[in-house]
Structure 1
Amino acid sequence: MSSDIVELEENLEDSPLYSEDLAPVPVAKRTWTMWNLAAIWVGMAVCIPTYILASYMIKSGLSWYAALIIIGLANLIITVPMVLNGHAGVKYGVPFPVLGRSAFGTKGIHIAAVVRGIVACGWFGVQTWIGGLAIYAIWNALFGTEASLGLDIGKFVGFGIFWLINVYFIWNGTDSIKWLEEFSAPILILIGILLISWGAYNAGGFKIVLDQSEQLERPEAVIVHEAEIDQYVLNLNPIRDRDGIIKASHFQLSIGEMASIGVDAERWTEIKPRALDILLKQFDPELNWEEVTNGEVQVNIQFRADGDDKFNFIYSSIVPVKIDSGKESGGGKLWSYIIWLTAMVGFWATMSLSIADITRYAATQKDQVKGQFIGLPGTMILFSFVGVFVTCAAVINFKDILIASDAPWDPVSLLAKFESPTVVIISQIFMLIATLSTNIAANVIAPANAFSNLFPKSLSFRGGGMVTAIIGIVICPWWLLNEISGILIFVSGLLGPVLGILLCDYFFINKKTLQLAELYKVNGIYSFGGSGFNKVAMLALVVGVVTAVIGYWVPQLYFLYNLSWFTGFLVSFVMYYFLMKRPDIQSA
């Protein structure tokens, strides 16, 4: 990569597209080293979503090492366009909304930038609510009060306090953000090491934890058809402790209308460790078990273990029994890996768009390349492994976890199992640091620049950051916490086409050479004839988005939707390249 640095030589302060926050960063202020950039990625990557990332794959049947390989590969893949898109940030010192003017036009970039900004606002609200819950937990631990399952004033007070902490860093600008990430990074790495040490010590060793992790890959109970005896069999998989002993002593089934089972001693069946495959006909000889395997009849299961005395039992959650539809083919498993790879690539897809917002402060291209490759893939693998390892250790250590579905994958559930207020308080403080460092770097910088770009003369970075913070309240994350993640991930997947257009324009159309001053001129070359819209980019964007999501409505093309980020990226990239090579369309 070229290491040349370009500075703005023309005075454009009177241009309506220019502001101090959107102006190129002076060379003297481009001081961030590779360690600064690596620290930023550590601060962003260490968060609750990363901690539970591998759990989704393990629950679907993947091994822990397959999940980590997919996470590592996905983050290596996304780091490549991240580094490529960060090149212009280093060379020209401009943020994403200004850089995007060369491809989309001085007005067209608003579409991509605002969508990116709204996605970040949504995540800002969700992360701020999570941080508020940590403050709420600290309050309860300090004063010994009971936590409410629903919404209460304490949770909103915690949300408000954490919101104000975020606003403090927004108000103090990028220097305070840099300080926060440098402060957080070593602490967060230390937390990961301590968590792994805790798990290994309490479970009896590193190898024991990993060996027992296979329990989490299998469902608690599966109905299979044994062709040799032409019978349906219930295969049980309750959790075992560090010595390989099954924790649960009994189980009970509910079939059909009895789906809402409760504690009924008459229906409890003793678990025999040497006989975990049980003929189903003994539970209901008259039932047509083919109706069960076809999904016409619901079957649930619950497990029970002996407590401290004979009148005190430990119960698992009530979960549906899985139906084994047959062995998965090699091709099916490969496709499953590809789908998960696509999902993991999409995890940081939004940051790959706006990475110039950060790399504009880097001293050299080497700093941004090394910093990102050091900071992102390694941290994602490490902290995902922390989540897997600690959860496996908790499953072994805590006697009240009887089935895989009750595994405490998220830190909040795990902390709830500790009775020591000191442990809870210290752990929640660490969670606050992790959530804050992620929220500020990943969910504030990009939308602040995007909103500032809408009104450069009247809305500063600080003002854009406040807009972000306010929208984070308006979306009411306390109501939409579960639903909003799916919406935001869906929208994030649509941004693959934007990245494809940006990279094609910078590397293949403009050959890494932009007219820096023209990016700030209303009637310059990036106004595309005065309209402010590059029609080619708009067309490529629409076609890329439609191609990426059409499979959602057309079953025959669902594979395109499964691979939406790659699909949209490639289609828009190729289309933009060939259309921009046609002079008649380029000048239209």
Structure 2
Amino acid sequence: MSSITSGVVDQSSAMLAADYDSRLYNNDLAPTVAAQRTWGTYNYIALWFSMSMEVTTYMLASSLIAGGMNWKQAILTILLGNLIVLVPMLLNAHAGAKYGIPFPVFVRASFGTRGANLPAMLRAFVACGWFGIQSWLGGQAIAAMIAVLWPATAHAPSVLWASFLGFWLLNMYVVWRGVESIRFLQSFSAPFMLVMSLTLLFWMLHKAGGFGPMLSAPSHFHTTGSFLRFFFPSLTAMVGYWATLSLNIPDFTRYAKSQDSQIVGQAFGLPVAMVLYSFIGIACTSASEVIFGEPVWSPITLLGRFHQPLAALLALVALLIATLNVNIGANVVSPSNDFSNLAPGLISFRTGGLITGFLGLAMMPWKLMSSFGSYIFGWLIGYSGLLGPVAGIMVADYFLIRGTRLDTVSLYRRGGPYEYTRGVNPRAIIALAAGVVVALIGLAVPSLRLLYDYAWFVGFFVAATSYYFLMLRYRPVTPHSPNS
């Protein structure tokens, strides 16, 4: 018999007796057992601090300053965006903690045992893009460190490309070591990153001559209308930044000791870490305008402006560790499981991680980060229109249709309650298509651009509403079982 402790279901007995389908099951996709539930509140706080304190978060915040906001407006936008995305994050985290299942297995409940590959591949595609971006930024940090020690290499393309490939290989090594190496890396690096980030902040504070000059840059928006035209797309981008993790958070909460540990850890860790590190990015960017006469939105470029080699070297090491943390935690765990879900008998977590790495190279990340405008209004908002509808369907299915009850064994079988039509739930596909089309139609129809500016929100609510009403007539019933 399975046991329930603090909202966590131990699936070990049920799965050992299950006649599972090898096409839907391997050790990496199997529900976690009690011995694997090792993540406490601190681990989830450390997860968010380690994933938030990295270069793209800094650049996300600094881009708001470059776009015309003052520091108060930027902080408010970031805080609000992260509080909004925390809601679907915690809702989707519930199933991972309760049943010990990863995202690609959880999404089988709504999309079907075969249909789940569609949202899993959407999430994996975005993760590959992020993996490439983070690897490129990590390579830039290594190249900048080499330039500090050996100035003659500062403008040598071969050094940058060698650094990029070297950092990519380092990521692959951590993937090969497995998920427990991720927990170890994040546990010791989170407090280290906090100390190093605060050191950078106070260094820039000293150079700028105090908080007054550092935060003196005024808002460039002189009317409420002009501010709102920039604010709402920026808010969507803030939500889009973690729209990826709001889907695959079960990949992490499946290791939770209890529901409380993941809820408290995430509710504290996500908004606090993002606001803290975003403030550092905002303050340092504002200070750069005082010191250098122009805002420098990239911390790597900013550090290269200083002539204190030891300070620059230590800061770049901190950036490198942070980039490694977030690349593994946010951009490898999910697509590795997603690719494994395509062919569980052939693709393991390690193999899925290698696939992610090679696709990340193929997506040419140096083009995705060509400017802060393409980063915010192209990349972040664009993919939020793809992932918002998936999140809406998952939340509507798990909470509104099923009341948080899943037949876990049937998630690994064909022909059960999640078979739908040959393994695909056509209602979920229709709802997904409706959400994506409405969210992204503003790209093709200028008069509907407002829908694109709200892409994540529009996609989420259109897909969730469509799915709910389509499924009311279907009314799936999860049978009573010791594992539900």
Partner of 1:182: 187
- Given that residues 547 and 567 in structure 1 are in contact (C-alpha distance below 8 angstroms), is that contact kept between their aligned partners in structure 2? yes
Greater helix proportion? 2
- Does residue 553 of structure 1 match 2:444? yes
- Given that residues 509 and 577 in structure 1 are in contact (C-alpha distance below 8 angstroms), is that contact kept between their aligned partners in structure 2? yes
User: Aligned Cα RMSD in Å?
Assistant: 2.2
- Given that residues 54 and 384 in structure 1 are in contact (C-alpha distance below 8 angstroms), is that contact kept between their aligned partners in structure 2? yes
Please give the alpha-carbon distance, in whole angstroms, between the structure 1 residues aligned to 2:174 and 2:192.
19
Please give the alpha-carbon distance, in whole angstroms, between the structure 1 residues aligned to 2:150 and 2:436.
52
- Does residue 568 of structure 1 match 2:459? yes
Are residues 583 and 157 of structure 1, via their aligned partners in 2, closer, same or farther at CA, if it must alter by over 3 Å?
Answer: closer
1:465 aligned residue (344, 353, 361): 353
- Does residue 163 of structure 1 match 2:163? no
Alignment of 1:289-304 (within 5 A): none
Partner of 1:140: 147
- Does residue 206 of structure 1 match 2:211? yes
Please give the alpha-carbon distance, in whole angstroms, between the structure 1 residues aligned to 2:305 and 2:228.
37
Deviates further, 158-167 or 170-179? 158-167
| CA-CA distance at 1:63 after TM superposition | 1.9
- Given that residues 54 and 64 in structure 1 are in contact (C-alpha distance below 8 angstroms), is that contact kept between their aligned partners in structure 2? no
Please give the alpha-carbon distance, in whole angstroms, between the structure 2 residues aligned to 1:575 and 1:407.
44
Please give the alpha-carbon distance, in whole angstroms, between the structure 2 residues aligned to 1:190 and 1:362.
27
| CA-CA distance at 1:6 after TM superposition | 4.4
* Greater C-alpha radius of gyration: 1
Please give the alpha-carbon distance, in whole angstroms, between the structure 2 residues aligned to 1:179 and 1:4.
23
Are residues 82 and 560 of structure 1, via their aligned partners in 2, closer, same or farther at CA, if it must alter by over 3 Å?
Answer: same
The unaligned stretches of length 5 or more in structure 1 are 220-326
Question: 1:98-128: CA deviations, max 9, x gaps?
Answer: 0000000011111111111011111111211
- Given that residues 418 and 424 in structure 1 are in contact (C-alpha distance below 8 angstroms), is that contact kept between their aligned partners in structure 2? yes
- Does residue 355 of structure 1 match 2:249? yes
Q: Secondary structure at the match of 1:495?
A: helix
Partner of 1:520: 412
Please give the alpha-carbon distance, in whole angstroms, between the structure 2 residues aligned to 1:384 and 1:21.
34
Please give the alpha-carbon distance, in whole angstroms, between the structure 2 residues aligned to 1:124 and 1:434.
13
**Number of equivalences:** 466
Please give the alpha-carbon distance, in whole angstroms, between the structure 2 residues aligned to 1:513 and 1:584.
13
| CA-CA distance at 1:141 after TM superposition | 2.3
| CA-CA distance at 1:455 after TM superposition | 0.6
Please give the alpha-carbon distance, in whole angstroms, between the structure 2 residues aligned to 1:204 and 1:148.
31
| CA-CA distance at 1:481 after TM superposition | 4.0
| CA-CA distance at 1:336 after TM superposition | 3.9
Alignment of 1:261-340 (within 5 A): 328=223, 330-331=224-225, 333-340=227-234
Paired AA for residue 201 in structure 2: I
- Does residue 494 of structure 1 match 2:382? no
Alignment of 1:341-490 (within 5 A): 341-396=235-290, 398=291, 401-402=292-293, 406-478=294-366, 481-482=369-370, 485=375, 486-487=378-379, 489-490=381-382
| CA-CA distance at 1:4 after TM superposition | 4.2
Please give the alpha-carbon distance, in whole angstroms, between the structure 2 residues aligned to 1:542 and 1:209.
46
Greater strand proportion? 1
The unaligned stretches of length 5 or more in structure 2 are 478-484
Question: 1:118-153: CA deviations, max 9, x gaps?
Answer: 11111111211211122222222223323127xx22
Are residues 448 and 420 of structure 1, via their aligned partners in 2, closer, same or farther at CA, if it must alter by over 3 Å?
Answer: same
TM-score of the superposed pair, with normalisation by structure 1:
0.76
| CA-CA distance at 1:556 after TM superposition | 2.8
Q: Secondary structure at the match of 2:9?
A: coil
Q: Secondary structure at the match of 1:191?
A: helix
Please give the alpha-carbon distance, in whole angstroms, between the structure 1 residues aligned to 2:148 and 2:229.
46
Please give the alpha-carbon distance, in whole angstroms, between the structure 2 residues aligned to 1:4 and 1:116.
26
1:87 aligned residue (85, 91, 94): 94
| CA-CA distance at 1:196 after TM superposition | 2.1
- Given that residues 47 and 186 in structure 2 are in contact (C-alpha distance below 8 angstroms), is that contact kept between their aligned partners in structure 1? yes
Are residues 134 and 208 of structure 1, via their aligned partners in 2, closer, same or farther at CA, if it must alter by over 3 Å?
Answer: closer
Partner of 1:268: none
Are residues 584 and 81 of structure 1, via their aligned partners in 2, closer, same or farther at CA, if it must alter by over 3 Å?
Answer: closer
Please give the alpha-carbon distance, in whole angstroms, between the structure 2 residues aligned to 1:84 and 1:585.
20
Question: 1:62-83: CA deviations, max 9, x gaps?
Answer: 2211110110011011011101
Please give the alpha-carbon distance, in whole angstroms, between the structure 1 residues aligned to 2:236 and 2:169.
36
Paired AA for residue 151 in structure 2: G
Partner of 2:202: 197
| CA-CA distance at 1:339 after TM superposition | 2.9
| CA-CA distance at 1:52 after TM superposition | 2.2
Partner of 2:480: none
Question: 1:495-521: CA deviations, max 9, x gaps?
Answer: 100000000000011100000000000
| CA-CA distance at 1:419 after TM superposition | 1.7
1:172 aligned residue (173, 177, 186): 177
Please give the alpha-carbon distance, in whole angstroms, between the structure 2 residues aligned to 1:334 and 1:139.
43
| CA-CA distance at 1:28 after TM superposition | 2.1
- Does residue 110 of structure 1 match 2:117? yes
- Given that residues 20 and 413 in structure 2 are in contact (C-alpha distance below 8 angstroms), is that contact kept between their aligned partners in structure 1? no
Question: 1:2-26: CA deviations, max 9, x gaps?
Answer: 7242415133455321100000010
Please give the alpha-carbon distance, in whole angstroms, between the structure 2 residues aligned to 1:496 and 1:416.
37
Please give the alpha-carbon distance, in whole angstroms, between the structure 2 residues aligned to 1:134 and 1:76.
30
- Given that residues 89 and 249 in structure 2 are in contact (C-alpha distance below 8 angstroms), is that contact kept between their aligned partners in structure 1? yes
Paired AA for residue 197 in structure 1: F
Partner of 2:59: 52
- Given that residues 25 and 345 in structure 2 are in contact (C-alpha distance below 8 angstroms), is that contact kept between their aligned partners in structure 1? yes
Partner of 1:265: none
Please give the alpha-carbon distance, in whole angstroms, between the structure 1 residues aligned to 2:314 and 2:237.
33
Paired AA for residue 566 in structure 1: F
- Given that residues 10 and 99 in structure 2 are in contact (C-alpha distance below 8 angstroms), is that contact kept between their aligned partners in structure 1? yes
- Given that residues 209 and 392 in structure 1 are in contact (C-alpha distance below 8 angstroms), is that contact kept between their aligned partners in structure 2? yes
Question: 1:451-487: CA deviations, max 9, x gaps?
Answer: 0000101110011011111112222334554288434
TM-score of the superposed pair, with normalisation by structure 2:
0.91
- Given that residues 381 and 456 in structure 2 are in contact (C-alpha distance below 8 angstroms), is that contact kept between their aligned partners in structure 1? no
Partner of 1:278: none
- Given that residues 33 and 362 in structure 1 are in contact (C-alpha distance below 8 angstroms), is that contact kept between their aligned partners in structure 2? yes
Please give the alpha-carbon distance, in whole angstroms, between the structure 2 residues aligned to 1:347 and 1:467.
23
- Given that residues 382 and 440 in structure 2 are in contact (C-alpha distance below 8 angstroms), is that contact kept between their aligned partners in structure 1? no
Q: Secondary structure at the match of 1:170?
A: helix
